[in-house]
Copies of this chain bind each other. A is one copy, B any other.
Amino acid sequence: MKQENNKPSFASDYLEGAHPAILQRLAETNMIQSAGYGMDEYSESARQKIRAACEAPEADVFFLVGGTQANATIIDAILRNYQGVIAAETGHISIHEAGAIEHSGHKVLSLPQENGKLSAREIASTLDRFYRDETHEHMVQPGMVYLSQPTEYGTLYSYRELKEISEICHQNGIALYVDGARLAYALACPENDVSLPALAELCDVFYIGGTKCGALFGEAVVIPKHGFLPHLFTTIKQHGALLAKGRIAGIQFDTLFTDHLYEQLGQTAMEAAARIRKALLEKGYQLAFPSPTNQIFVTLEKTRAEALGKTVELGFWENLDENHMIVRIATSWATRPEAVAQLIEAL
């Protein structure tokens, strides 16, 4: 993944620093003194803007540093000791968080997925099977559902799909939590019909990703119903997730939610992704998943991948067989048109 001279990289969407507007704002406010731990005026302003964008005026909003941290902290706050979290077997918490959920004592109950997505039906039948099982009190009780939007495969839940899942959860008295690490790229996607207010309507908790969407770091956790997670501040501290200089996260989200910067960032990535996707299809490449967002997964012969790798850097995803692999092409708020042109030419 090391960047080489002049070779543009599409290996991930966190290769650069931050959107320049964020750096400028950090510089402008730098020497002003403010309170710590998120009690500052920038964080408060950011919270207000996020509440407005989500049409959730009562929402509790907390700024955490990273995605694994947000997932571990929120899931620990939602679950009771005897409960676990339902997630797709491809979900980030199922595999790539080094056991952060289990570290807090909770089992990840992995379910089969399709294109990275869980279905309401699969969740419903899991809950049904659990409660019908005579021995279910010997088993970890499903206490919540974890989804990501977009998913780890770049796919999207539709409003209808999310609503069905939300209904299943709430009929069963369990919480719905959505990981929005790349939410800007969902919000800017033409195919998307799940807005921030829709997330606030359907989820018990979700987070708006900053790290992969133009911030230096930071994830904004939104809890539409005030007080749903009591003493979350203490839980955040306990998870080592409380920033002393909370303002640094606050300033970033305040900037991202000023003048629709967050959506604009997403559009830059979408436009780049659309150009690349079009070129791939025209040239007969095979897409591994139908992902409409900023992550494009291409099935390639290994020799072809190697050749491409000489001009542009791609993300390794998975070996399929001896001769084929899946690579990931990720665009972002920072993707330059020239880099896209270079990639298309290489294709």
Residues of A participating in the B interface, judged by any CB pair closer than 8 Å? 1-3, 8-9, 11-12, 14-18, 20, 23, 26-27, 29-36, 39, 41, 65-73, 76-77, 80-82, 84, 95-100, 102-108, 132, 134-135, 137-141, 211-212, 216-217, 231, 233-235, 237-245, 247-248, 316, 319, 334
Closest to A24 in B: B27
Give the residue among A17, A31, A135 with the most B Cβ atoms within 10 A: A17
Q: Are B99 and A82 in contact (CB under 8 A)?
A: yes
Q: Are B135 and A244 in contact (CB under 8 A)?
A: no
Complex contacts, A212 vs chain B, CB 8 Å: 244
Specify which of B1, B9, B65, B231 is in contact with A65 (CB 8 Å cutoff): B65
Shortest CB–CB separation between residue A278 and chain B, in angstroms?
24
Query: CA of A66 to CA of B157 in the docked complex: distance in angstroms?
Result: 35
Give the residue among A23, A41, A65, A212 with the most B Cβ atoms within 10 A: A65
Q: Are A14 and B102 in contact (CB under 8 A)?
A: no
Q: Are A140 and B99 in contact (CB under 8 A)?
A: yes
Cβ contacts A to B, 17 pairs, < 8 Å: A3-B32, A14-B36, A16-B30, A65-B240, A66-B243, A66-B244, A68-B237, A68-B242, A69-B240, A76-B81, A80-B231, A82-B235, A102-B102, A102-B105, A103-B238, A216-B245, A240-B240
